[in-house]
Amino acid sequence: MNRSLAFLSVTKSFGKTLALDHFSVEVAEGELVSLLGPSGCGKSTALRVAAGFENPDSGDVMVGESSVLGSPANERGMGLVFQNYSLFPHLNVRENLEFGLRVRRSSAAVRRARVTELLELVRLSGLDDRLPHQLSGGQQQRVALARALAVEPRVLLLDEPLSALDATVRVEVRDEIRRIQRGSGIATLFVTHDQDEALAISDRVCVMRSGRVEQVGTPRAVYRYPATPFVARFVGRVNDLAVIVRGVGIVALRGSTSGFSVPQSGPSSGDARLLLRPEDVRVVGLSDDALARGRVEAVHFGGATTSVDVLLTPSNQTVRSTDATRNVRCEVGEEVGVVFDTERALLTREP
Amino acid sequence: MMSGRKLWWSVLVVVTVFYAIPMVAMTRFAFQRVPVIKLSWSNVFDKWTVAPIGETFADPNFRSSALLSIGLSVATAVLTVLLLVPTMALAHLRSPRVRRWIEVSAVLPFVVPAIALVVGFAGAFRGTAPLFIRNPYGMVPLLVITALPFTHRTIENGLSSIDLRTLVDASRSLGAGWNRTIWTVVAPNIRGSIATATFLAITVVLGEFTIASLLLKNTLPLYLAYAQGQNPQGAFAVGLVLTAISASLIGITNGIGRRSRR
């Protein structure tokens, strides 16, 4: 696939803080890539550099085969949707959508046709004359998306467009964005701190930390095969257990003597952390070949999935399982056994 | 101990009376054909006339000074808006340091007396650009500076009350240059503040005396000061009309401000 947007070793600092540190990522044509990371990891800075609102200290930003660093923001042809409602408050929906077209001196007929088409696309036909403050938050963000698409940008940049919305509307607008992005085939960069959002919407996720890329991959790959302990902890839920390394590929829970095998990478002696997804922890009966035993501390009934917290004895750590075997009674206070599937677990010294 | 409400009312009454008495006295002096010495409660309704206004309007000196003052007001208001809106918007976006610097210099006219301003201005331009001093419109930059403490504050409030960065970024990403962004996106969203700043600039110009007097320009306030000797009733009448205009400008501004906040 042709790359549409590419960051090539972009570095940007504000005073003494390094916001982007040799940051490189590519977005192919038609692809949606999210930048995911905690606040202050540089994801918004990356987007602002691409949009032309910040100039990088070094590195390059390419659209197609040419660098865009020489052009000012208003000549880059990128569509932007912001976190804060950014519709022009003094213009109605139609005028907001026409803004970019007027700048490009499109004729009245072209503008009218385009606005009708866009309103249909975001399913807001008939709201042409509303002012932004007469729309709900979800509607405002859909108009903002339509406004960004009006000028047929080569790249779409979305800066936490869902953060200001409440939970149900958020999912609705999220799916809408994905549907429209798929339909239009525009390369899209989606900035978010919400991992559920990133996993649900993206073709690929780029996990960032302190201005650097930790891992880029499909949502499944990032979740199932995290490259670093940071990614494992940041994306999805993880059991973070204190263990003692007994030998290459053998660990025991701290305070316990029975060892079990883990993947061979990582430290080969001393204290370490074992990172394990909740679905890789199984609750079994006491009689089975349990790796550890403990008492059920809490049961979180979540409809489709139920998760169980087990306080392990004697190591005194809580582990969460989303794979409670159905024939085991899981009630608070019950004594149970626990089995770990350590195939995809990560062993690390990083606290 | 008075209740809060009572206190509020008594302060309001005292202040109203304090301002109303001289206004009433001025009105009677200007518009009643009764010798000042005989003005009393008994003839409050006698011999009212608007003739003094007509007499003043008939004076060609009045007409030329009124036209000049109107021209100066408009020029000052326009220059103020053209200078302040883009400069302050850019300072908001780009540099908090410049913003503070503008804030401090904007209140300088409160500190530096107008006479110092004029002496410096005249000294600097008499030799280099005498036309600037001879032409009455050369005063406009000085009037812009004099009005700055009021106009700056108003525009500043307007810019702080909107999400300037997002609006500007959105506009630029849609392809608009700086000029278009400032005048079609920022300005309409602070139109209440711009209207207030405009009216404040006009009121300052209509009341400005020192600069015009020192530069020997025949503006309305100077004419009024001169006419008090010739036609005192007419001068007071015009003064009252000016007060009424200023008051209604403030009323209009409030109305616009309220509408744009809806």
pLDDT value of residue A80? 94
pLDDT value of residue B262? 42
Given a cut of 90, is residue A26 above it in pLDDT?
yes
Domain B51-261: CATH superfamily, name plus number: MetI-like (1.10.3720.10)
- Cβ–Cβ < 8 Å for A177, A97: no
Given a cut of 60, is residue B260 above it in pLDDT?
no
How much of chain B is helix, strand and coil, in % rounded to 5?
A: 85, 0, 15
Over residues A54-86, the pLDDT tens digits come to 999 999 999 998 999 999 999 998 999 998 889
Q: What is the DSSP letter of A329?
A: -
Among A88-97, B1-10, B211-220, the range scoring the smallest mean pLDDT is: B1-10
pLDDT value of residue B198? 93
Confidence of residue A324 (pLDDT cuts 50, 70, 90): low
Above pLDDT 90, what percent of chain B?
Answer: 44
> Minimal Cα–Cα distance from A82 to chain B, Å?
7
How far is the C-alpha of B252 from the C-alpha of B245, rounded, in Å? 10
- Cβ–Cβ < 8 Å for A346, A280: no
Confidence of residue A351 (pLDDT cuts 50, 70, 90): confident
pLDDT value of residue B153? 94
Chosen from B167, B173, B186 to mutate, greatest number of chain A CBs within 10 A? B173
> Minimal Cα–Cα distance from B158 to chain A, Å?
14
Confidence of residue B96 (pLDDT cuts 50, 70, 90): confident
Q: In this prediction, does ipTM exceed 0.90? A: no
CB atoms within 10 A of CB B187: 18
Q: What average pLDDT does this structure show over B205-209?
A: 89
pLDDT value of residue A87? 95
Entry pTM? 0.83
A166 and chain B: CB distance < 8 Å anywhere?
no
How far is the C-alpha of A217 from the C-alpha of A194, rounded, in Å? 16
**Residue A247 or residue A12, greater confidence:** A12
How far is the C-alpha of A182 from the C-alpha of A29, rounded, in Å? 11
The torsion angles phi and psi of A47, rounded to 5 degrees, stand at: -65, -40
Contact at CB, B172 and A73, closer than 8 angstroms: yes
Q: Which residues from chain A sit within 8 angstroms of residue B166, using beta carbons? A: 82, 84, 86
**Could you tell me how many CB contacts below 8 A there are between chain A and chain B?**
64
Tracing tokens 């939970």 back to the chain, one arrives at A167
Q: What average pLDDT does this structure show over A285-306?
A: 81
Over residues A155-186, the pLDDT tens digits come to 999 999 998 898 889 999 999 999 999 998 99
Over residues B123-168, the pLDDT tens digits come to 888 888 888 888 889 899 999 999 999 999 999 999 999 999 999 9
**Residue A28 or residue A261, greater confidence:** A28
Among A211-215, A282-286, B109-113, B178-182, the range scoring the smallest mean pLDDT is: A282-286
**Residue intervals in chain B for CATH 1.10.3720.10:** 51-261
Q: Which residues from chain B sit within 8 angstroms of residue A90, using beta carbons? A: 188-189, 191
Given a cut of 70, is residue A216 above it in pLDDT?
yes
Mean pLDDT of chain A: 90
Mean pLDDT of chain B: 88
pLDDT value of residue A220? 94
Confidence of residue B1 (pLDDT cuts 50, 70, 90): low
Confidence of residue B26 (pLDDT cuts 50, 70, 90): confident
- Cβ–Cβ < 8 Å for A315, A195: no
> Minimal Cα–Cα distance from A70 to chain B, Å?
15
pLDDT value of residue B261? 47
How far is the C-alpha of A67 from the C-alpha of B131, rounded, in Å? 51
Which residues does residue A212 pair with via DSSP β-bridges, in sequence order? A209
Given a cut of 70, is residue A288 above it in pLDDT?
no
Given a cut of 90, is residue A251 above it in pLDDT?
no
pLDDT value of residue A217? 95
Both structure tokens of A315 = 């190591």
